[in-house]
Amino acid sequence: MRGVRHTSFRFTVEDPSAELAGVLARHAGAARYAFNACLGLVKQAVAAHRDDPGAPVPYSGFDLINAWNHFKTSPAAGVDEHGNVGLPWRAEVCQQVFEEAAVDLGRGLAAYTASKQGARKGRRVGFPAFKKRGRADESFRLRNKTSKTGRTSIRLGDTGPRTLNLPVIGTLALVEETRRLRRMLDKGRAKILFATVRKTGRGPQPGRGGDAQHRRDAAQPAPRQSDQRRGLGNLRPPARLQAGLAWRRAHPG
């Protein structure tokens, strides 16, 4: 039986349009909202459990998904001006975003419990905290589902060799070549389980490379003419050597 190995491939989204950037930001915000809402439900359940030991506390990813499904259609999630109960905007994003956020919280709670009980090695893990906009990692995760016809929801190369299709979001243009992964998929040597979209701020900056180089050069001290004649550029000899050279120039004999 052949072993199974999990690995990841990282690609960069190529300069998304303002509309696409808004869609990605909306999904990241929805994931953050669901994580915080589920964490709030956990804290409420823990407080109720102190008064009533028989009160259940949603702790696993499965329990948290169920708790979220109940919350999103309840008055606790809000009521709009027309009297509609729940989150009216939840249909604007892929529903998997909410479920995966609940799963992430479940993993964080499990890591906290294991660390507290001494079953987890390494640095101590604290209780999960609420994610704040602008401080938390702007990301979300989508699972790769397969339809009855065998078509997957996450696909590479549908509209070009450097494209990625995600459910609800659509097509993303990528900077890097995807040939290696596509060949592995075509030969049955790989299977995409999920895709994580994360805003890092380290993506390509079209038209900015030259400006960055100019700024870096301007920050460096200008080389001395004597160093330029010797071809030393910005190199400087050590302080002791400079003192020795100065003494030799003052005492040529």
Least confident of 7-21, 31-45, 105-119, 224-238: 224-238
Most confident range (mean pLDDT) of 179-183, 213-217, 247-251 is: 179-183
Q: What are the percentages of helix, strand and coil residues in the chain, rounded to 5?
A: 45, 10, 45
Edge-first strand listing for the sheet containing 155-156 = 155-156, 163-166, 170-173
The pLDDT of residue 179 is 93
The pLDDT of residue 229 is 43
Which has more confidence, 188 or 219?
Answer: 188
Residue 137 pLDDT grade (very low, low, confident, very high; cuts 50, 70, 90) = confident
To the nearest 10 degrees (0 to 180), the angle between helices 18-51 and 61-71 is 100
Q: Among candidates 198, 3, 237, which has minimal Cα distance to 104?
A: 198
Using an 8 Å Cβ cutoff, are 42 and 211 in contact? Answer: no
Other CB atoms closer than 10 Å to residue 89's CB: what's the count?
13
pTM of the model as a whole: 0.75
Q: Round the average pLDDT of the chain to a whole number and report it.
A: 83
**DSSP character at residue 8:** -
Does the pLDDT value for residue 10 go beyond 50?
yes
Helix boundaries (H) for 117-174: none
69-105 pLDDT per residue, tens: 999 999 999 888 888 898 988 889 999 999 999 999 9
